[in-house]
Structure 1
Amino acid sequence: MTETELSDVRVDHVGIAVESVADAEPLLELLGAEKLVHETDPTGAFRWAYYRLGDASRVELIEPVDGEESFLTDFLAERGPGMHHVTLEVADMDAAVDALDAGGVRVVDRTDYDEWSEAFVSPRNPTGVLFQLMEYREPFEDGRPGSERLYIGGKKLSE
């Protein structure tokens, strides 16, 4: 990636796999976190709760939906609760994926929704970390807290 492309990426949040948001949430509250949303993934396989810490940091707790087998239930069975992924907001998903592909980095599971696009960098990379790439679009804000709480300084990278 070039220097220009690197400036169009920022850490959006860290995702933590938990058995239960209700059980994990008190710790985040003690750390001063404010819950922004708690909703079910469009696939119905898991729920996420999104928290703001201070002015710019965010944490996401992801929990399985009762009775649903998914990547998350497999993850929890194998590793237990803990860090699941680091989400990077990108201003242009196509450009980010092209740059990673050109660099020989494997990008998997790209999905485009009305509100956002996401893709994952396989954790079979030198860091061992699953990176989620996200490009947000206007409808993402619908029914959620205002943009001043969802983005850094109220702005998406694409603005």
Structure 2
Amino acid sequence: MKGYLTVVGKIFLDVQPEEVWAFWRFMQDHFRTSVINKRSALEMQLVARGLEALGIQSKDRFLKNFTTTIGRRIYTPFEVGSPKGGWDLWHQIVICVHEHQHVVQHDREGLAYEVSYLADRAARARWEAEAYRSNLELQFWRTGTTPSAQRTASVL
């Protein structure tokens, strides 16, 4: 038996803002996390400046294109439930699950997770591969398909 909800079909093809907001709220309550607007967070502004100064990534790209999780704080470049700036509602649900997987990793490994994520590219790829597995599971659950392995690996 494959399970009761292997593929949900059309149920989540037209996700509504209030559903996204409710899902994030549920995950925050369950994992005791907080969501912070990345662009308005002083600590993220400082990280962005540091990354730019080191020539790793532009400040603007870091603040607009990536969600960042540190411990139980999830910094989003979008307003949850608002499909603006290229952040469609389904993608926001996928990001929620992905980032909460990083919270699980933090809980499981403690400070060693953060240190290895920052200091070891191979470790970071392993952490991200684990979190991206949740993306694949969500896509399969929603559509019954998965993206190509090449597409999935390209983000690592």
Please give the TM-score of this superposition, normalised by the length of structure 2.
0.27
Which has the higher relative contact order, 1 or 2, with Cα contacts under 8 A spaced 6 or more apart? Answer: 2
TM-score, with normalisation over the residues of structure 1? 0.26
User: As a proportion of its length, which structure holds more helix?
Assistant: 2
